[in-house]
Amino acid sequence: MSGQYGQSLKDLLERMHISDSEKLVAEGETLVIDTKAERILLSRKDGVLSIRSLPSPGSGSIAGKGHNT
């Protein structure tokens, strides 16, 4: 992760309990948090919260996208 804000956000999300992650990301969906410097992708499959980060030329937004898997 390139930004200090993004790293702090990722650290916080990694410490969340499964019950908390269910409030953010529904099963089979992906939540994208764009911090302008990077994108943090949150997804949940089989009750497991997955967190990935990618470089982003983005605009600083939050978007959700459903997936049926």
What pLDDT score does 20 carry?
A: 65
Domain ranges of the chain: 4-66
Per-position b or e across 32-58, b if 16+ CB within 10 A of its CB: bbbbebbbbbbbbeeeebebebeebeb
pTM above 0.75, yes or no: no
What pLDDT score does 40 carry?
A: 83
Q: What does the pLDDT look like over 34-46, one tens digit per residue? A: 877 788 888 888 8
Q: What does the pLDDT look like over 2-56, one tens digit per residue? A: 456 667 777 777 776 555 666 778 888 888 888 777 888 888 888 887 888 888 7
CA distance 37 to 64: 19
* Amino acid in the structure at residue 40: I
What pLDDT score does 48 carry?
A: 81
